[in-house]
Chain A
Amino acid sequence: MSRLANRIAALGHGFASWITGLGAFARLFSAILARSSVVLRRPGLVSQQVHFIGNHSLLIIGVSGLFVGFVLGLQGYYTLNRYGSEEALGLLVALSLTRELGPVVTALLFAGRAGTSLTAEIGLMKAGEQIAAMEVMAVDPLRRVLAPRFWGGVIAMPILAAVFSMVGILGGWFVGVILIGIDPGAFWSQMQGGVDVIDDVLNGVIKSLVFGIVVTLIALYQGWTARPTPEGVSRATTRTVVSGALAVLGLDFLLTALMFAH
């Protein structure tokens, strides 16, 4: 009986610590925002992070986008062909990429490629007592380390998502027009007729911006709160991917319901 009671108590404790984590997460967010003036004072720090987070992720984003576009082209053609409307392939590829796949898949890859390295870097800085050393030297690590990384991720993510969508559309075009032989005029004109700049493209950019903020912040938070041991850093890195992916998928549902349900 007392074991059951302990279980229930542990359940409550787990929930309470989750809420506490959420509060600490929000506090870290506001602390980083409050120290963001460093972005304007030392833009070199941010550009270094954009280079590290963005440029180095470009290859995996581009290749993934290309193959997602290929697959969309093939699968879309297979389905549309049944209804004799292959010309709508361009529309299907462009809408799926700009609305959903571009921001979401990029954010998932971003969490795996850039988020993990941010978490590991900050966690190891903590384990190696570099953060403590900074504090001793009266350098604010939130300002010097976390804020530039946060803004680097927020700037890089929408760019990566836009590149993903563009490369994906070109991949769909390659499969549809070059390999299968759909009329290129119909392919592009159906796409232009159905993709709205505000409703689809801009909302996709807003989505990717939100995902960039959330994923980067989760990565920084996990690194910042990691236990300063090798095991603690490895667990934090895993948690970055898991909670980053879950946050992206959950938020995507919310944002889609807000933006496209009318």
Chain B
Amino acid sequence: MTRERTDFWVGLFILLGLIALAFLALRAGNMSSFSFAPTYQVHAYFDNVGGLKVRAPVKSSGVVVGRVAEIGFDNQRFQAKVTLSLEQAYAFPKDSSASILTSGLLGEQYVGLTPGGDDKDLADGGTIEFTQSAVVLEDLISKFLYSSAEKEGSQQGQATGGAAAPGTGQ
């Protein structure tokens, strides 16, 4: 085979490799969701961030308006400090609230922004005051168990005349 023919096939081979890499990055990976729009940073403090990850989406009304840039622990407030980088195209009132939500039943967690009614907008480096932490499954279960046990106890109490303590009715 002549030199030029070999070079042609090698060139084709390398082109195929580049196409495969582009496919993996754009079609299979999250490269296409990388946004190069200018952003500004705001902070929010949460009691519990749950399973929130860096680069998780920030959504308002279900639309992605930014990404989580950093998650750290603030040793002054003893709360998790989450830095959000929001796209410059979207401005939110100063009294907007942030909550950590889950997409689907077992999906990934994201930050939901609910706009407030203030005249002034959040500036770069500003802080979102109203936050709602992630729902922790264990807390939810223990609350549920506690309330159902309480209900059961009060029902048994009524059946035995109201004065007896729960558990002594049997």
Contacts and interface: CB of A to CB of B under 8 A. Distances in A.
Contacts of B19: 166
A42 to B, nearest CB: 11
Interface in B1-51: 3, 6-7, 9-10, 12-14, 16-17, 19-21, 23-25, 27-34
B108 A192 contact: no
A100 interface: no
Contacts of A48: 6
Interface stretch (A21-29, A50-58, A229-237, A247-255): A50-58
Contact of A162 (B3, B9, B20): B20
B14 A159 contact: yes
B13 A98 contact: no
Nearest to A98: B24
Contact of A50 (B13, B24, B25): B13
A55 B28 CA distance: 24
Interface stretch (A11-19, A194-202, A209-217, A220-228): A194-202
Given A58-B13, A158-B17, A44 B3 contact: yes
Interface residues on A, range: 20 to 34
Main secondary structure of the interface of A (DSSP, over half): helix
Interface residues of B, number: 27
Contacts of B23: 166, 169
A50 B10 contact: yes
A201 B20 CA distance: 11
A235 to B, nearest CB: 32
A64 B139 CA distance: 48
A196 B30 contact: yes
Contact of B29 (A50, A58, A192): A192
B17 A159 contact: yes
A38 interface: no
A192 B17 contact: no
Interface in A131-187: 155-156, 158-160, 162-163, 165-166, 169
Given A165-B24, A197-B25, A55 B31 contact: no
A192 B13 contact: no
B27 A188 contact: yes
Given A50-B10, A55-B10, A166 B24 contact: yes
B103 to A, nearest CB: 9
Contacts of A159: 13-14, 16-17, 20
A205 interface: yes
B6 A98 contact: no
B111 to A, nearest CB: 15
Nearest to A93: B28
A55 B20 contact: no
B20 A192 contact: no
A162 B17 contact: yes
Contact of A195 (B13, B14, B28, B55): B28
Nearest to A188: B27
A55 B32 CA distance: 30
A191 interface: yes
Given A55-B13, A165-B20, A166-B20, A201 B29 contact: yes
A104 B3 CA distance: 32
A36 interface: no
Contacts of A205: 21
A192 B33 contact: yes
A162 B10 contact: no
A94 interface: yes
Contacts of A200: 29
Given A98-B24, A163-B20, A201-B21, 8 more contacts: A155-B14, A156-B13, A159-B16, A169-B27, A195-B30, A197-B29, A200-B29, A201-B24
- 9 shortest A-B CB distances, which residue pairs? A159-B17, A162-B20, A166-B20, A197-B29, A195-B29, A94-B28, A47-B10, A163-B20, A197-B31
